[in-house]
Structure 1
Amino acid sequence: MHVPPTSYVAAFDTLRQATRSRTTCRLVVFVACLDVDALCGAKILAGILKREMVPHRVSPVTGYAELRARCTELDDDVSTIVMIGCGALVDLSTYLEDEQREDEGEDEEEDEEELERRRMKQRRKIYVFDSHRPWNLQNLFGSENIVCFDDGDVGDGLLEAERQAFQTLLELGPDESSDEEEGSDEEDKDSDDEQEIEDETQESNDTAEAENSSPSSKRKSPSSPRSPSPSARRQKSVKQLRQEVEDVVGAYYSKGAMFSTPVASQVYTLLSFLGDTSIHDLWLSIVGTTALDRHAPQLYRRLFPLLRDEVARLNPHTNLKLSADDNTLITQPDYRIFLLRHWTLYDALIHSPYVSARLELWTDDGKKRLHHMLAKMGVPLTVARERWTHADMVLKRELRSRLQSVAEGYNIGNVVRTGVTRKFGFRGAVTAGDAVEAVAALLESGRGQTAIDKENVNPDKTEEDEKENVGTQEWVDNFWCGWDALDDVELLLHGIDRARMIQKAVVRTGSALLDKDAVKQLRPFRLAMLRDGPDLEIFSNPVTLTRLATWVSECKSEQTDKQSALVIGALDSKRDTYTIVGLPARVRPRNRTEDEDEEDEEEDDEEVLRNSFGIAFQQVAQETNARVKIDCFESSVVEIKRDDLTGFLEGMSMVDIR
């Protein structure tokens, strides 16, 4: 079932009443551990539950397989599950029930107590906050134990055709046209014909007397030509109806994956209805929403005016005098320049995906254009290479106007926009965009135990120990590091340092791919594969690889008018696999003024990016029998064995990617 925003409070009251306990924990919150938006949403929800004195446990998960295993291992006392950043794409009732059935197959002889325990698990209530689309229609319309927090699409009737088609499929029941029925079609047809003849004869005899006075009435005999039997017509109409509604449902799923309202924004909406908002929760909502700006900019532009109004409501009077406990939020000009306030202006421009793509800064000519632009702005290179915190105050005040004066000439008309900044007393201020980069870097690399700073690696650690720590456990540890950073500004600033190091690796690797012309244009998409290099190890993380793919895709889209999807893969030598990410063709946005940044919603709808690589990966994996692992909450991420890569890519080259 689905819950519209106006019913969020009623759904939460049901959750609260079912999970309040003084002795046991009845509520478990599963969170996608590589998602900044999910992390912020879980942080807001944890605060709500703590204030309501609801015992709960937060459990980060890396993929659907781990989610399934964790659900199976839950205690019998757990009556409610909340999924944040996951759960929308799969049929949860069937997916989790299959795991229970597998366990039942191992122990066929069970006592009544064990059977009752399994029935209790099947009656668990599951609440889903997820921004991934498309919804699995079974979760929305087919199960009362699964509660999906709708962002308004279902309530506004945007899925009405899909709802009617799905309800029709439920009424029709399972398709009985199996192979066994095909084998007995002839016998069924003969018996149906005989039965139909008898029925028609009896019907004619019963109505003959009543219709005898009518000259047009003609009595049918068994030997007279017959029209198709009602049962045959009925069977044909049922098959046709089933095919029509299946086409509607299939078309809905085949549109591709996309993002909807961020999870942090949904949970903050619940908090607003509860009347318990705070500056810190609003900050978390803004960070979670900003995290989707890279993948779904139209969502950010649509939601930012609402967040800006909320900032003005909770901070009616901005205190210009700095104090140690000043944690206010302010809206002010922001820049699409990577970590400007924590770097030099020159390095921030070089490593900015937006500026780098439009000036082609990975080339010598691009760097000359950058020098020429800085000269037009009146910024010497010596000043541009100074730490921004030590830069001249005149430059800081006039940067906005200087950038706008040269923006159109260098095709960076969107470089200036409005953003939100949070003050942290005397320790400085951080913009929402910088906070996203910091938290994402901590989720990718933690506090520093990665390949980008090998001096921190324990020399006593053996190769076997390293293999054991590769993968999910490391990502879970990084999740808690990011969780703490949302409350600890010092850790957040450390995350900014990590973000700079990761972005350097991304720009180094991406520049090498473009310089060597290693991004090949295939028929349906562009392809780039990483097999060696000094930074290869960090790209085994799908979030870091997606960051590289976004940088390369944006650069290639500015090089040519032909917009094409991108598939990029990186070798993980420790596991002998390739991690592959697929991104759809980018939509080149028009240059907007600062006042237009949140307008033109109709045009934003046309800019929605749908990613069909998840469907293509599954199709090609089945056709080629490749050993793949499609387990990430992002459907466009797949892990494949090294030996199966060639056949898999050949199969992908034959698929039509929209």
Structure 2
Amino acid sequence: MFVENLERGFYRLIKHDRCLLLVNFDIDAICACKILQLLFKYDNMMYTLVPVQGVQDMVRAFEENCEEVKNVIFINCGGTLDLVELLQPAESVIFYILDSHRPYDLCNIYSEDQVRILGKPDKDDEIPEYNDVFRDDDSSDENETDEESTGDRSQTKRRRLNEEDIVKRAGRREWSEKRATILFNYTQYSYYGKSSAMIIFEMAWSMTKDNLDMIWWAIIGSTEQAILGKVESRLSVFEEGLLQAHVSRLTHKKGADKQQQQQSAVKITYDKDLLLVLYRHWTVEDSLRHSVPTAVSLRLWSLRGEQRLKGLLADMGLPLAQSKQRFSAMDLALRQEFKQMVEKLAGKYKVDTIIGTSFTLQYGYKFKYCASDIVYAMLALIESSSKTKLPQGCFLDALDCLSRTKKDILESGIEKAKLMLKTVFKTAQTILQLKEIRNTSSFLYIIIPQGSADNFIFAHPYPLMMLAQFTLKAYVDSSKNRRAPELPLVASAVYNAEERICIMIGIPPVCEDQPRSLFGRAFEQAAKNTNSYIDADYFDSTIIRLKIEERPKFLDALASLLT
């Protein structure tokens, strides 16, 4: 069931018992978790935090920590699964779901008490009515009684074939067929809903416990959804407006309590800005090259594109030596005029989309970062697990990124983000130059070859997703195929070379402003058609793992399925 009043239907109920927090490995979930942690700190509440990468992680974490825990909070995980069936909890345990993944599992929605979904249902969810998908049928012919099995067979046969029984069977068959259609339509697409960090911030606001730190974390959670294209641009703009209103309210809040005195040095601004990746912490040339809008518009994967980039820098009046210096080391006059330089030439070079607005946090004299800087740093940190660094350690590093006192971790994340973006661009450049994008007529696909020292990064979902999105936009922009904007893309890379396992991800076409993906169900059906085993352990159903040798026949089955 849905809990719309979070203070009364959630926070007050968990206040006096230890909670188990199961948090997915994504930026929005980490931001929501950080807000909750601060609220728990205010109220001296006890909790156990366990980061979970996938379904098996979640099951294991619950089994290891469920003793003496009455309240379990799932952040960006569990909403699309039948949790009671999967975890078999004691009757006293209550699950609270805060999940931006859609669609929700219907058993969670219609659970009377044990499962509670935090927030209002979205208008676009189109949740089926209870009676259309659930039916309590106690007809005697479903289960044969002992009397029927031992009694007169001819009498049983006559009873089953009477007119009333036939009508009942026909009604059940018609209902089952209608139910199958309704369920298919409901679960056909996977997509994302409102930011979980935003929902938790609004709860803190309703409890008058919000502050500038909390709104900043909500901003980062919302920004991550926008950067990765998880929600349509209309919703991102609307949410930006709400966040701006909250920032203005908190900034101009009257009074001089201790909390405000502590935060007097914290300043959040919302202003016109260039949507260039990490440009305040990078060189202008590198930032222009690795930002998707400029890389696509200028076609920087080609020699002619490189010439266009140099032409843009020359037209701006930016000396080559200055453009190759870190932005903070450039001449002060050039730094101050940089935005105006780009704005003047945006139309000529077709890069208007890099002119927008952003939130910036300033703390003291040396701490100044915009929200997208933090998002890229956290993405790089969370996906930097290796043989020497466990995923849980990466999760904690990303969590520390949100602390203003741990600037060294944030700076480390920004440096890792630069390497990640360079690898994404270099790999996309190779794919585009060698024309390695395959067209099945129903979708495009790319396979990242094993061999390059940097390609291990694509064993992680987010870098692979960023590569897929960049490659698809570049292909659509440069292709002569009129259907290109309507084609989705599948990207695959090696996940584990020793076990011969690959990771595969599907993204919707660029023409879809509302990013709904049909690949979750399509992957499932293709696996059935080919008798392939897929490991759908991720909470996002459009990401799977499978054996490398089964990939060709799997892609063929996918092509025939989507034709």
What TM-score comes out, normalization by structure 2 length?
0.90
Structure 1 equivalent of residue 259 of structure 2? none
Q: CA deviation at 1:570?
A: 1.0
Identity over aligned pairs, percent: 24
The equivalent of 1:552 in structure 2 is 471
Letter in 2 for 1:123: S
Partner Cα distance (1:334, 1:71) in 2? 44
Aligned pair in 2 of structure 1 residues 243, 438: CA closer, same or farther (>3 Å)? Answer: same
Report if the CA contact (8 A) 2:374-2:401 is conserved. no
Deviates more, 1:53-62 or 1:531-540: 531-540
Question: 1:561-616: per-residue Cα shift (whole Å, max 9, x none)?
Answer: 422111111123133211111111113xxxxxxxxxxxxxxxxxx72111111111
Counterparts of 2:244 and 2:138 in 1: how far apart (Å)? 50
Q: What amino acid sits opposite 1:655 in the alignment?
A: L
Identify which of 489, 510, 516 aligns with 1:566: 489
Partners of 1:535 and 1:340 in 2: how far apart?
23
The unaligned stretches of length 5 or more in structure 1 are 20-25, 98-119, 197-228, 318-322, 451-465, 588-605
Higher Rg: 1
1:480 counterpart letter in structure 2: L
Q: Is the 8 A contact 1:76 1:121 kept in 2?
A: no
Deviates more, 1:333-342 or 1:323-332: 323-332
Q: 2: distance between equivalents of 1:377 and 1:442?
A: 34
Q: Which of 194, 197, 208 does residue 264 from structure 1 map onto? A: 197
Alignment partner of 1:389 out of 313, 328, 331? 328
Q: What do residues 446-500 of structure 1 show as CA deviations (whole Å, max 9, x unaligned)?
A: 6xxx5xxxxxxxxxxxxxxx4xx6xxx7221100111112112221121111100
Aligned twin of 1:32: 24
Per-residue Cα deviation, 1:83-138 (whole angstroms, up to 9, x for no partner): 001111111111112xxxxxxxxxxxxxxxxxxxxxx7243100011101111111
Partner residue of 2:134 out of 165, 170, 179: 170
How far residue 235 of structure 1 moved from its aligned partner, in angstroms, is: 3.5
Between the aligned partners of 1:187 and 1:68, the Cα distance in structure 2 is 50
Kept after mapping to 1: 8 A contact 2:95/2:116: yes
Q: 1-side partners of 2:179 and 2:263: how far apart?
A: 62
Change (3 A) 1:329 1:529: same
Distance 1:188 1:517 in 2: 69
Corresponding position of 2:173: 239
Q: Which amino acid aligns with 1:355?
A: T
2:507: which partner in 1? 583
Counterparts of 2:120 and 2:469, CA distance in 1: 27
Tell me by how many angstroms 1:392 deviates: 2.7
1:412-450 C-alpha deviation (Å, 9 max, x unpaired): 22211111000121223000011100111110116xxx5
Q: Distance in 2 between matches of 1:250 and 1:171?
A: 17
Q: Secondary structure at the match of 1:622?
A: helix
Q: In the alignment, which of 457, 462, 470 is matched to residue 543 of structure 1? A: 462
Higher mean alpha-carbon deviation, 384-393 vs 58-67, is at 384-393
SS state of the match for residue 28, structure 1? Answer: strand
Indicate if the aligned counterparts of 2:232 and 2:515 stay in contact, CA closer than 8 A: no
1:271-312 residue CA offsets vs partner (Å, 9 max, x unmatched): 111111111111100001100012224232120000111111
- Aligned pair 1:336/2:275, yes or no? yes
| Alignment match, 2:553 | 647
Answer yes or no: is the 8 Å Cα contact 2:31–2:221 preserved in 1.
yes
Alpha-carbon distance in 2 for matches of 1:316, 1:395: 33
Alignment of 1:85 with 2:66, yes or no, is no
* Cα pair distance change 1:537/1:177, threshold 3 Å: farther
Distance 2:119 2:518 in 1: 23
Q: 1:283 aligns with which of 196, 216, 223?
A: 216
Contact 2:275 2:355 in 1 (8 A): yes
CA distance in 2, matches of 1:187, 1:608: 59
Note if contact 1:162-1:248 (Cα within 8 Å) is conserved in structure 2. no
Q: 2:257 is matched with which residue?
A: none
1:511 to 429, 436, 441: 429
Instruction: Give runs of aligned pairs for residues 206-605 of structure 1, distance below 5 A.
Output: 229-254=163-188, 256-293=189-226, 294-295=228-229, 296-298=231-233, 299-316=235-252, 326-445=265-384, 466=387, 474-487=390-403, 488-531=406-449, 532-560=451-479, 561=482, 562-563=484-485, 564-571=487-494, 572-587=496-511
Residue aligning to 1:8: 6
Relative distance call for 1:131 and 1:380 in structure 2 (3 A) is same
Q: Give the match for residue 148 of structure 1.
A: 117
The structural deviation recorded for 1:239 is 2.9
Q: 1:653 to 1:180 in 2, by over 3 A?
A: farther
1:53 positional shift: 1.4
How far does the alpha carbon of each residue in 1:513-551 deviate from its partner, in whole angstroms, 9 at most, with x for none? 111111111122111112222212121112221222122
Change (3 A) 1:245 1:375: same
Offset, 1:230: 4.2
CA distance in 1, matches of 2:22, 2:478: 42
Q: How far has the Cα of 1:352 moved from its partner?
A: 0.8
How far is 1:231 from its partner?
4.2
Task: Work out the CA distance in 1 between the residues paired with 2:468 and 2:557.
Answer: 21
Task: Verify the 8 A CA contact 1:93 1:143 in the aligned structure 2.
Answer: no
Deviation at 1:179, TM superposition (A): 12
Where structure 2 has 5 or more consecutive residues not aligned to the other structure, the ranges are: 254-261
Matches of 2:544 and 2:520, distance apart in 1 = 8
The alignment yields a C-alpha RMSD, in angstroms, of 2.7
**Distance in 2 between residues matched to 1:174 and 1:394, nearest whole Å:** 80
Matched, 1:131 2:64: no
- Asked whether the equivalents of residues 357 and 558 of structure 1 are also in contact (C-alpha less than 8 Å), the reply is yes
State the Cα deviation string for residues 396-421 of structure 1 (Å, max 9, x = none). 33333322222222222221111100
Residue 383 of structure 2 aligns to a residue in which SS? Answer: helix
Q: Within 2, Cα distance between the matches of 1:176 and 1:364? A: 75
Paired residues, number: 539
Deviation at 1:149, TM superposition (A): 1.1
Q: Is the 8 A contact 2:538 2:544 kept in 1?
A: yes
Displacement after TM superposition at 1:188 (Å):
6.0
Task: Please give the alpha-carbon distance, in whole angstroms, between the structure 2 residues aligned to 1:64 and 1:177.
Answer: 38
Offset of 1:642 from its aligned partner? 2.1
Residues 67 and 3 of structure 1, relative CA distance in 2, 3 Å threshold: same
Tell me, in whole angstroms, the C-alpha distance in 1 between the residues paired with 2:120 and 2:501. Answer: 38
Q: Judge conservation of contact 1:324–1:426 (CA < 8 Å) in 2.
A: no
- The one of 492, 515, 522 equivalent to 1:609 is 515
